[in-house]
Structure 1
Amino acid sequence: MRDNYLSFPGFEEVSLEDSYVLDIEVHPAVLVIKLDLLLLPGHPEHRAPLPGERACFRPATVVFSSVCDLHWTGQNVIKPAIDASGTLDFGSVDSMTRGDDSYQILGDWGEINLQSDAPSLSIDLAPTP
């Protein structure tokens, strides 16, 4: 059985499917996914959308540490989109699930399967209006 990311501690009241992947970094024993993260209204950091935004987005980072095995397929199809402000993004996270001792992350940028500690999510502080 696979658990969806919404059951992971710290991932409540966010939508990875409606967020934008800004970068994916793989380092020895670490996977980092940088996002423009959509916070849902129930999230404690949720604020009114900034001017020009359709919803509450905040810079955020997902970190998988103690990675002991990682396979990333489909990297050759990565073609970033450029938004009106000139920012590059690689689409969204279509799904992030946990199996018995592994994680699977899917998106336009490919598929990552890894064994690691549970991911952590850190959200940058909301900018002041």
Structure 2
Amino acid sequence: MGKSIASRFENVDLVRSELRAVIINDDELTLEMDFCLEEAHPDYEAPGVGEDCCFHPGLLKFAGISKLSLERAEHSPEAVRRYAIQSFHIEGSKFDMACDWGTIHLQARSIRVLTE
């Protein structure tokens, strides 16, 4: 049996993690993430020069979306590569996140966490 959603975030600091991209296809939503790993995480490595966190790329994939609300924040014209997260919550089939990109609220049949 696979790991639960909550167990996949063990030793991951979600609020210090960052959103890289939002991709929408039909009834699917993919969030490209840089997860901030804590020292106890098996993939943890010392942070790179100029970084205060061990960032590890990954994806949050939502399929079978029955409710979706995206509210994009206004940004200056400069290209932003990472968006800071203020709040992050997954409970059952519901997901809510507020970040510099904007806010995301959804309900989906399937929520998968993938790391590279």
- What do you get for the CA RMSD once the two structures are aligned? 2.4
Q: Segments of 4+ in structure 1 off by > 6 A?
A: none
* Deviation per residue, 1:65-115 (Å, 9 max, x gap): 221221112x15244865xxxx722x2222222456522111122211111
Task: State the match for 1:113 in structure 2.
Answer: 105
Residue identity (%): 24
TM-score, normalising length from structure 1? 0.71
Contact 1:16 1:92 in 2 (8 A): no
For 1:102 and 1:62, how far apart are their aligned partners in 2?
13
AA at the equivalent of 2:89: T
Task: Give the Å deviation of 1:119.
Answer: 2.6
| Residue 77 of structure 1 pairs with residue 70 of structure 2 | no
Query: 1:17–1:53: structure 2 CA closer, same or farther, 3 Å change rule?
Result: same
Task: State the match for 2:23 in structure 1.
Answer: 25
AA at the equivalent of 1:36: D
Contact 2:73 2:100 in 1 (8 A): no
Task: State the match for 1:60 in structure 2.
Answer: 58
Could you tell me which runs of 5 or more consecutive residues in structure 1 were left unpaired when the two chains were aligned: 1-6, 125-129
Task: State the match for 2:7 in structure 1.
Answer: 9
TM-score, normalising length from structure 2? 0.77
Aligned pair count reads 112
Query: 1:66–1:78: structure 2 CA closer, same or farther, 3 Å change rule?
Result: farther
